[in-house]
Amino acid sequence: MGKLKRIETEIEGVYIIEPTIFGDERGFFFESYNKRDFQEIGILDEFVQDNHSKSRKGVLRGLHFQTEHSQGKLIRVIKGGVLDIAVDLRKNSATFGKSIKVELSEENKRMLYIPKNFAHGFLTISDDVEFRYKVDNVYNKESEGGMRYDDPSVNVDWGSLLNGIEPVLSEKDAHGPTLEDANNQFVYKEEA
């Protein structure tokens, strides 16, 4: 029970996770996290904190990262849907500055695994979204970093939902630095 399917993406280390869903006329059941099953598909992070946010349609959160206390993340949506974005900040990576976009929703029940040293953000595409994610390092205010969601050098594909619509942003997200400027804050340490 509870086996997972790991789907490779265009960026090494970022995976879409599809759980096995058991459903009948009563509803459904699935294991959203089982350490052993995640280890079997190569995700070895020791998750230490769970985060939960709620947002209305059109909210854009991100792009955020932690510098010296970088976080690996396991993300899922329990209500509604989002376009989830990961941007590679690994300076020596072949995909440095590239992004991946994945739709996560309560319907598809997909999860996204993002390793350390990535910026992360999401755009809500439905009303009343609830978003949960596990991290493998606790939040550290002094290590907080971010970059502009619309940095032209990164060219994140936010989709047609933003055509002519201003996203709902925090003050911090509306005035974040570009990738070039954010890089000066980011410390990448090669994993041993």
- Out of 33, 64, 69, 188, the active site residue is 64
For 50, residues 6+ apart whose C-beta sits below 8 A from its C-beta are 132, 133, 134, 135
Which of 105, 106, 150, 110 has its CA nearest to residue 9? 110
- Out of 15, 113, 133, 149, the active site residue is 133
133 is catalytic: yes
Rounded to whole angstroms, how far apart are CA atoms 140 and 187? 14
Rounded to whole angstroms, how far apart are CA atoms 192 and 189? 9
64 is catalytic: yes
**Backbone φ and ψ of 180, nearest 5°:** -60, -45
Extract the tokens encoding 19. Answer: 């759980």
106 touches 19 (CB < 8 A): no
131 touches 82 (CB < 8 A): yes
Rounded to whole angstroms, how far apart are CA atoms 149 and 92? 22
Enumerate the active-site residues: 64, 133
